[in-house]
Amino acid sequence: MSVLKRLNDPQLGREMIKKVKEQAAQLAGHLGRAVALMEVCGTHTMAISSTGLRSLLAGLVELRSGPGCPVCVTAAGDIEQMIALARMPGVTVATFGDMVRVPGVLSSLERERAGGARVQIVYSPVDAVALARDKPDQEVIFLGMGFETTAPMVALSINQANNLRLTNFSVYSVHKLVPPVMRALLGAGEVKVDGLILPGHVCAITGSEAFAFIGEEYGIPAVVTGFTPVDILDALHILLNKIQTGDNRVVNGYRWVVRDDGNLQAQSAIKNCFYLGDAIWRGFGVVNGSGLLIGEKFAHYDAMRKFTAERLDDAAEPQGCRCGELLRGLISPGDCPMFGHPCTPASPVGPCMVSSEGACAAYYHYR
């Protein structure tokens, strides 16, 4: 059996669930409550919902979502800025699809597109460079969002635009880094979790050691893992063990993808293009040193400098929307009074109901 098949093997999965449930029951009995774990990454949130793991572990393990959905953590002010960019004449905004339906205060990129704005969904920032090359009369602005995972590709595309000497390409960079926001989250002390499931893809870039501080400074065990049912169950098994034994060192449970020191080439691509700045996160406000801003060398590809005099202070959150608290792990989607009515994937109030990695969408689709 191939490794990939093995990782999706239902028989193995069912055996592991049995074991994890026994372990969790024992630990929950000892704690006098369900074990509280947080999955940081939106893709984990989706996988946990879509495999039915959440319902299988209900009552024993409470799985909270964290700030790991790139669209969801994009600040309301940045959304307004992106909508304003799309409205500018002669501009084509190129973006990942998830962003198109995120509601701003009065509009969204989807509505702007219906009103005549040029909003182009791309699957890679490199496609946006090709678009700029093919449409020299248009200013192509790529909405650069995401974490350590997407930033290297954006760095690459800026380099490519530079090699092509394009003057009609720029990036609105709201890239964010996960370790600083985890520090902000845990440092605030609002959320009480017994263990963390770390984002496998982000760790592939940063390395698992970038998250060692979670155990060292906050005394919480954490495991890096992949996205198949067997990966996640394995992480739960390790975490439950570590909680029981009080061992707080970070564990790399995704060794075939993640190195302790990460992907050095991707890290250097990021360093070459971006500098560390402050970023505004939905739900958190300003998190120092958590943003990747385009460096001086490539200033002419920075849409913020090219088109916007200054960054907007954070705009108003959609009224009644509790995405912010959700992203801080304080509530579950079901705790928001708008969940399911009026907020649905068809008419989302907040970004967590839009994105395919958003916790509200995951809970809604797979109730």
Partner 1 sequence: MSVVLLAHGDGGLLTRELVEGLFLKYFKSPLLRQFSDAAVFNWPGSRLAITTDAFVVDPIFFPGGDIGKLAICGTTNDLAVSGARPRYITASFTIEEGFALADLEKMVASMAVACAEAGVDMIAGDTKVVPRGHLDKLFITTTGIGMVPEKLDWGYHRPVPGDAVLVNGSLGNHGLTILAARENLGLTGALASDCAPLNNIINLLQEQCPGIKMMRDLTRGGLSTAAKEIAEACGLDLCLREDALPIDQAVRGAADILGLDPLYLANEGKFLAIINPAQAAKAVDILKQNAYGRDAQVIGEVCAGKGNVYLQTTLGGTKILGLLAGQPLPRIC
- Which of 55, 167, 265, 288 contacts partner 1 by CB under 8 A? 55
| Beta carbon nearer to partner 1, 42 or 350 | 42
| Beta carbon nearer to partner 1, 72 or 220 | 72
**54 contributes a contact to partner 1 by CB under 8 A:** yes
**71 contributes a contact to partner 1 by CB under 8 A:** yes
**346 contributes a contact to partner 1 by CB under 8 A:** yes
Residue 42 and residue 74 in contact, taking contact as beta carbons nearer than 8 Å: no
Q: Which two structure tokens, joined as six digits, stand for 172?
A: 């609105």
Instruction: Print the binding letters for residues 287-326 with partner 1: x by CB under 8 A, - otherwise.
Output: ----------------------------------------
**118 contributes a contact to partner 1 by CB under 8 A:** no
**67 contributes a contact to partner 1 by CB under 8 A:** no
- Which of 7, 24, 36, 42 contacts partner 1 by CB under 8 A? 42
- Return the range that interacts with partner 1 (CB under 8 A); candidates 106-114, 207-215, 269-277, 288-296: 106-114
CB of 186 to partner 1, least distance (A): 22
| Beta carbon nearer to partner 1, 248 or 332 | 332
**145 contributes a contact to partner 1 by CB under 8 A:** yes
CB of 46 to partner 1, least distance (A): 7
- Return the range that interacts with partner 1 (CB under 8 A); candidates 77-85, 306-314, 327-335, 344-352: 344-352
**46 contributes a contact to partner 1 by CB under 8 A:** yes
- Return the range that interacts with partner 1 (CB under 8 A); candidates 38-46, 155-163, 190-198, 279-287: 38-46
Burial-class residue 11 by CB neighbours within 10 Å (0-12, 13-18, 19+): exposed
- Which of 86, 100, 154, 174 contacts partner 1 by CB under 8 A? 100
Which residue matches tokens 């708008």? 338
CB of 53 to partner 1, least distance (A): 6
| Beta carbon nearer to partner 1, 148 or 302 | 148
Cα separation, 154 vs 160, in Å, equals 10
CB of 88 to partner 1, least distance (A): 18
Residues 208-267 touching partner 1, rule: CB under 8 A, are 229
Cα separation, 303 vs 65, in Å, equals 32
Count of residues binding partner 1 (CB under 8 A)? Answer: 49
Residues that bind partner 1 (CB under 8 A): 8, 10, 13-14, 17, 42-43, 46, 49-56, 70-71, 96-98, 100-101, 110-111, 113-115, 121-123, 127, 145-147, 149-150, 201, 229, 344-346, 354-357, 365-367
